[in-house]
Structure 1
Amino acid sequence: MNDYIKVMNLCLNAYNEEEIELILNTLVRMYLRYYKKRIVE
């Protein structure tokens, strides 16, 4: 939950749409990687 707040702050502080998109894309990749590990275990 703390990470979620950090991400929201990053998005609010982002200068433009491209930056927000980059942050969200990175998040999605991190989440998918974590999720795949959970499934494998």
Structure 2
Amino acid sequence: TAPSYLALSNVICVGGTWMLDKKLIENKDWQAIEALARQASEIK
């Protein structure tokens, strides 16, 4: 649904827990977190 929200003229960004699994943070898997953040930043 992120693309639907981003298509609205009054929405400049979206975020949420859907971006990554809590275990990635617990395991300090910074490479995986960065990859998911980059992927999410490309949503239009």
TM-score range for the pair, normalised by the shorter chain length: 0.3 to 0.5
The structure that is helix-richer by fraction is 1
Higher relative contact order (CA 8 A, sep 6+): 2
Q: What TM-score, normalized to structure 1? A: 0.47
The normalised TM-score by structure 2 is 0.45
